[in-house]
Chain A
Amino acid sequence: MHNTGDVKVPIGPQHPALKEPESFLLTLRGEKITAASVKIGYNHRGIEKACEGRTYIQDLYLIERICGICSHSHSTAFAQAVEEIAGIEIPARAKYIRTIVAELERVHSHLLWLGVAGHEIGFDTLLMYTWRDREVVMDILAQLTGNRVNYGMNTIGGVRRDIKAEQIPQVLKGVDTLEERTKYYIKIAGEEPTLINRLSKVGMLSYEDAIRMGAVGPTARASGVQRDVRKDDPYAAYADIDFKVITHNTCDVYGRTIVRVLELMESFQIIRQLLAKLPEGPISVRAPRKIPVGEAVSRYEAPRGEDLHYVRANGTDKPDRVKVRAPTLANVQAVALMLEDRYLADMPIVVAAIDPCFSCTDRLVSINYVDHNSKNTFEWEKIHRDSIEWYKKRGIDFAKLNKTF
C-alpha cells in the first residue's frame, strides 16, 4: 500500500484486538505507522470516588474488582495500606497465604498473557494450549479461595481462608504440571521461527526510555531495568523467600515474553518455598472498624508491574481518599513510543506486550472551576465539596448512599 497520502486508522474504542475499549489513532503510510496517539478514558468507573462512600470492608471487595486478572494485587495493596494506618501487624501465616495467592495469581496472569500474545500474532494454537493449562491454576485458586477470579481472600488484618494441610499436595501437584508445561513453552519460544520473527525487534523500548517513561513490571525488566517491588521493598512474605528478579536485555516484545515465562518458573519455586515454610498460627487479627486518622502508601508487584495504593483515613469507618495507580498507567505512556516506525501488523502485539488493563487505568479529571478571585489552585476540600454538590443536584446523595442502595 503505497498511496501518497497518510491514512488514519482508528484502532478502538471498539476493535477486535482490544479486550477493553480504548482508543489508539494510528497514522499509516503504507503499512508503516508514522505516528501513534493513545487516548484513555473510555472505561472510567469512578471506583476511587465510590470507595469514599463505603466502609473499609466494603471497599475491599470494590477494590478487588478494579481488575479481573490482578484482583488479589489490588485488594492486598489496599489492605496493606489500611493496616499500616491502623497499626495492625498481621500474623505470619496470613502473610504467607497472601503471598501464595499472589504468586498463583501471577501464574494465571502470565499464562493468560502468553495466550493473548499468541492470539494477537495469529497463533491461536498457542492461545488454546496456554489457556487449557491455565485451567490448572484456576482450579487451584478456586479450591484455595472459593472463587476463580475475584478471590475475596483478603480482609483487613489478615486473610479469610486458611490453607488446609490436605490441600497442599494438590497444589504442589498442580504446580508440577504447570512447571512442565511452562518448560515446554520456553522451549517453543526459543525454537519456533514464526514466533521469534514476529516478536523480535518489535516494540523496542531502550533502557533509557524505560526509565524515562517510568515503565514498570515485565515491560521494564525486559529492557534490563532491575525493578521489582518484591525485591526493592519486600512486603508480605517476600523478605523470607529466595528468588531472582528476571531481566532481559533485548528490549523488545520477545524479551517481554521471555521475562514472563521465566517469571513463571520463579513463581513455581516461590510457591513451593512458601508452602514448605508455611508457619502455624492464626490467619487474621481483629481489625477496628474505624480506622484512625492517617495516610499510607502501599506498593505491590502485580503481574503487570508495580501497583500503588494511597489511602487517607479520617477516623471514621470510611476512607477519606483512595488513590490507585495501576501498572498499566505507568506503562501505557511507553506504548506510543514503541509503536512509532513499526508496521501496522505489530500494533496488536505491541499493545498487548505491556499486558494492558485499561479499566484499571482509566481516570478522569474534569475540572471547570471558574472563580476569578482564586489563584487557580484547587483545594482538596473544595473539589470534594463541589463533587458532592454536583452529584446532589443530580439526585445522588453520598451521605445516604448505604441506605438508599
Chain B
Amino acid sequence: MIWPGAMIRQLLSSLTKKPATVNYPADKSGMPKGFRGKLKFDASKCIGCKMCMKDCPTGAIVIRQVGEKKFEADLDLGKCIYCGQCVDSCLKKALGLTSEFELAQLDPKKLKITLTDGPSIAGNKESSGE
C-alpha cells in the first residue's frame, strides 16, 4: 500500500531552509555576464553605414547624421527587443550591449532616448529619473 503525502519530508525540510525567492529590488544579482540589456553607442566609431537600422527587427534604432562624420543613434526602448542583432551587424563595433535592464518608464516619451558619444552607458540623462 502506498501512503498519501509522499512529499512530506521535503516540505518539512523547507521550513528550515531559506526561501528560494530572490528579494528582487534589494537583490539585483539576477543577471549573468553577457546579458543583453540596453545598448551603448560609441559615436567615434560609427561610420553611418546604417546596417543596424537595416537589420533591426523592430525598427527601434535610427542613426542620424549630426555633422561631418558625426552620428547619433535614436533608440526607442519600447520597440527594442534586446536581441542584439544590431551589435552583430555593426561593421565597426560602434554598438555594444550593457547589462542594464531596469528600463521601464511611467512616461512613454522617456522611452525614446538618444545615444550620444561615449563608450559608457549612453542616454543616462533621460533614464536617470527612475
Contacts and interface: CB of A to CB of B under 8 A. Distances in A.
A54 B54 CA distance: 10
Contact of A143 (B4, B34, B89): B34
Nearest to B35: A146
B85 A142 contact: no
A129 B34 contact: no
B31 A142 contact: yes
Nearest to B3: A193
A143 B33 CA distance: 7
A58 B56 contact: yes
B57 interface: yes
A184 B10 contact: yes
Nearest to B19: A132
Interface string B73-99: 000000001111100110000000100
Contact of B34 (A60, A135, A146, A194): A146
A191 B55 CA distance: 53
A61 B58 CA distance: 9
Contact-size category for A: 20 to 34
B91 to A, nearest CB: 13
A161 B35 CA distance: 12
Choose among B34, B58, B97 the residue with the greatest number of A CB atoms under 10 Å from its CB. B34
A188 B4 contact: no
Interface string A211-252: 000000000000000000000000000000000000000000
Contacts of A150: 81, 83
B35 A187 contact: no
Nearest to B62: A405
Contacts of A62: 57
B32 interface: yes
B36 A147 contact: yes
B2 interface: yes
A152 B84 contact: yes
A55 B55 contact: yes
A126 B6 CA distance: 11
A94 to B, nearest CB: 14
B6 A58 contact: no
Nearest to A57: B55
A192 B36 contact: no
A125 B11 contact: yes
Nearest to B58: A405
Given A58-B55, A142-B32, A184-B10, A194 B84 contact: no
A298 interface: no
Given A146-B34, A187-B6, A405 B59 contact: yes
A109 interface: no
A157 to B, nearest CB: 12
Contact of A152 (B31, B32, B36, B56): B36
30 contacts: A55-B54, A57-B85, A57-B89, A58-B55, A58-B57, A65-B81, A125-B7, A125-B11, A126-B7, A129-B7, A135-B20, A143-B32, A143-B34, A146-B35, A146-B97, A147-B82, A152-B36, A152-B83, A152-B84, A160-B84, A160-B88, A161-B34, A184-B10, A187-B6, A191-B2, A191-B6, A192-B4, A192-B5, A192-B6, A402-B59
Given A55-B55, A61-B81, 7 more contacts: A60-B57, A135-B20, A142-B31, A146-B36, A147-B35, A193-B3, A402-B59
Interface of B: 2-7, 10-11, 20, 31-36, 54-59, 81-85, 88-89, 97
Interface of A: 54-55, 57-62, 65, 125-126, 129, 132, 135, 139, 142-143, 146-147, 150, 152, 155, 160-161, 184, 187-188, 191-194, 402, 405
